[in-house]
Structure 1
Amino acid sequence: MKRRSFIQKTGIAGLGVALSPLACAKTKALDTEFLILGGGLSGLYLAYLLEKEGRDYILLEGSNRVGGRMFTRKDINRDVGGKGIGDGYAEVMSLVQELHTEMIDITEYMNSPTAIYKDGQLHTTWDGPEPNPRMLQFRAFGKEKQLGSLDEWYKRPELDEAYSKVLKRNGLSETEIDLVNISANYNDVRETSAMNAYHSSAFRKYNTSKRILNFKGGTASFIESLVKKLEKPVLKNKMVVSIDDSGDSVSVTCEDGTSYKSKKVISTMPFSTLREVKMNASFNSKQEKAIQNLNYTKITQIHLTHSSPFWEEDGSPAAMWTDTPLERVMNLSSHKDEKQIACWVNGKGTAFFDKMSEKEVAEYTIKKMNEIRPASTGKIEYLGMQNWGKYKYNKGAYAEFGVGQAAWFEDMIKPASNIHFAGEHTAHMSRGMEAAAESAKRVFFELIN
Structure 2
Amino acid sequence: MDRRALLAAGLAATFAGRVRSQARHDAIVVGAGLAGLSAALTLQDAGARVMVLEAQDRPGGRLRTESGGGLTIDVGAVEVGPHYRRIRAWAERFGVGIRPITRRFGGFGYAIGDRLVAAADWPSSPANLTVGAEREIAPAALEARLLRPLSPIRTVDQAADPALAAFDRSAFDLLTEAGASAEAIRLMDRWTNAPSLAGASALGLFREFARSPNAPPPTGPEGASEIVGGSATLPAAMAAALAVPVRYGALVTAVSQTPSGVEVRLDSGETLRAGHVVMAAPLTAVALIAFSPHLPPELSSAVSGAVYARVTQVHLLPESPFWEDDGLPPSLYVDGPLERVFAVETERGVERLVCWINGDGAIDWDQMGEADRVERAVSELARVRPSSAGKVRGVFSWSWAGPLSGGIRHAPRPGEGLGQVWQPGGAHTRVFFAGEHTRREEHGMEAACETGERSARAVLSA
TM-score by length of 2: 0.85
Aligned to 2:400: 388
CA distance in 2 between counterparts of 1:104 and 1:309 reads 28
Contact 1:42–1:436, Cα closer than 8 Å, also in 2: yes
Kindly state the Cα deviation for residue 45 of structure 1 after the two structures are TM-superposed. 1.4
CA distance in 2 between counterparts of 1:227 and 1:143 reads 41
Q: For structure 1, which segment, 292-301 or 131-140, has the greater mean C-alpha deviation from structure 2 after superposition?
A: 131-140
SS of the residue corresponding to residue 151 of structure 1 reads: helix
Kindly state the Cα deviation for residue 263 of structure 1 after the two structures are TM-superposed. 0.7
CA distance in 2 between counterparts of 1:257 and 1:335 reads 53
State how many pairs are aligned. 420
Alignment of 1:290-329 (within 5 A): 290-329=302-341
CA distance in 1 between counterparts of 2:46 and 2:247 reads 21
Runs of 5+ consecutive residues of structure 2 not aligned to the other structure? 1-20, 125-134
Kindly state the Cα deviation for residue 305 of structure 1 after the two structures are TM-superposed. 2.1
Aligned to 1:51: 44
Letter in 1 for 2:452: A
CA distance 1:167–1:246, change in 2 (3 Å): same
Aligned to 1:219: 231
Q: Percent identity?
A: 24
Aligned to 2:4: none
Kindly state the Cα deviation for residue 447 of structure 1 after the two structures are TM-superposed. 1.5
> Deviations for 1:243-271, whole angstroms, at most 9, x for unmatched residues?
11123211111122222110101110111
Letter in 1 for 2:115: Q
Aligned to 1:140: 146
Aligned to 1:406: 417
Kindly state the Cα deviation for residue 54 of structure 1 after the two structures are TM-superposed. 1.9
Letter in 2 for 1:305: L
Kindly state the Cα deviation for residue 399 of structure 1 after the two structures are TM-superposed. 0.7
SS of the residue corresponding to residue 43 of structure 1 reads: helix
Contact 2:155–2:212, Cα closer than 8 Å, also in 1: no
CA distance in 1 between counterparts of 2:347 and 2:300 reads 44
Kindly state the Cα deviation for residue 205 of structure 1 after the two structures are TM-superposed. 9.3
Letter in 1 for 2:259: G
Letter in 1 for 2:62: R
Letter in 2 for 1:115: G
SS of the residue corresponding to residue 252 of structure 1 reads: strand
Contact 1:282–1:417, Cα closer than 8 Å, also in 2: no
CA distance in 1 between counterparts of 2:213 and 2:32 reads 30
CA distance 1:322–1:405, change in 2 (3 Å): same
Kindly state the Cα deviation for residue 409 of structure 1 after the two structures are TM-superposed. 2.5
Q: 1:176 aligns with which of 160, 184, 197?
A: 184
CA distance in 2 between counterparts of 1:206 and 1:144 reads 23
> Deviations for 1:173-222, whole angstroms, at most 9, x for unmatched residues?
22321211122100010121011221122128974547111112111222
Aligned to 1:192: 200
Contact 2:106–2:345, Cα closer than 8 Å, also in 1: no
Kindly state the Cα deviation for residue 320 of structure 1 after the two structures are TM-superposed. 1.1
TM-score by length of 1: 0.87
Aligned to 2:251: 239
CA distance in 2 between counterparts of 1:159 and 1:90 reads 30
SS of the residue corresponding to residue 49 of structure 1 reads: helix
Contact 2:159–2:418, Cα closer than 8 Å, also in 1: no
CA distance 1:322–1:204, change in 2 (3 Å): farther
Q: For structure 1, which segment, 91-100 or 182-191, has the greater mean C-alpha deviation from structure 2 after superposition?
A: 91-100
- Say what the alpha-carbon RMSD is for the aligned residues: 2.3
> Deviations for 1:345-374, whole angstroms, at most 9, x for unmatched residues?
111101222343333322221111112222
Aligned to 2:90: 95
Letter in 2 for 1:365: A
CA distance in 1 between counterparts of 2:26 and 2:172 reads 47
CA distance in 2 between counterparts of 1:279 and 1:126 reads 57
CA distance 1:206–1:218, change in 2 (3 Å): same
Letter in 2 for 1:136: L
SS of the residue corresponding to residue 263 of structure 1 reads: strand
Contact 2:299–2:421, Cα closer than 8 Å, also in 1: no
> Deviations for 1:110-140, whole angstroms, at most 9, x for unmatched residues?
5631111112222232412334222222211
Kindly state the Cα deviation for residue 301 of structure 1 after the two structures are TM-superposed. 1.0
Q: For structure 1, which segment, 187-196 or 226-235, has the greater mean C-alpha deviation from structure 2 after superposition?
A: 226-235
Contact 1:146–1:201, Cα closer than 8 Å, also in 2: no
Q: For structure 1, which segment, 40-49 or 123-132, has the greater mean C-alpha deviation from structure 2 after superposition?
A: 123-132
Runs of 5+ consecutive residues of structure 1 not aligned to the other structure? 1-27
Q: 2:107 aligns with which of 104, 113, 117?
A: 113
CA distance 1:111–1:337, change in 2 (3 Å): closer
Kindly state the Cα deviation for residue 321 of structure 1 after the two structures are TM-superposed. 0.5
Kindly state the Cα deviation for residue 168 of structure 1 after the two structures are TM-superposed. 2.0
CA distance in 1 between counterparts of 2:242 and 2:347 reads 31
CA distance 1:395–1:90, change in 2 (3 Å): same
SS of the residue corresponding to residue 351 of structure 2 reads: coil
> Deviations for 1:145-171, whole angstroms, at most 9, x for unmatched residues?
541433001212122121112222333
CA distance in 1 between counterparts of 2:259 and 2:213 reads 43
Contact 2:154–2:211, Cα closer than 8 Å, also in 1: no
User: Does 2:405 align with 1:397?
Assistant: no
CA distance 1:388–1:190, change in 2 (3 Å): same
SS of the residue corresponding to residue 121 of structure 2 reads: coil
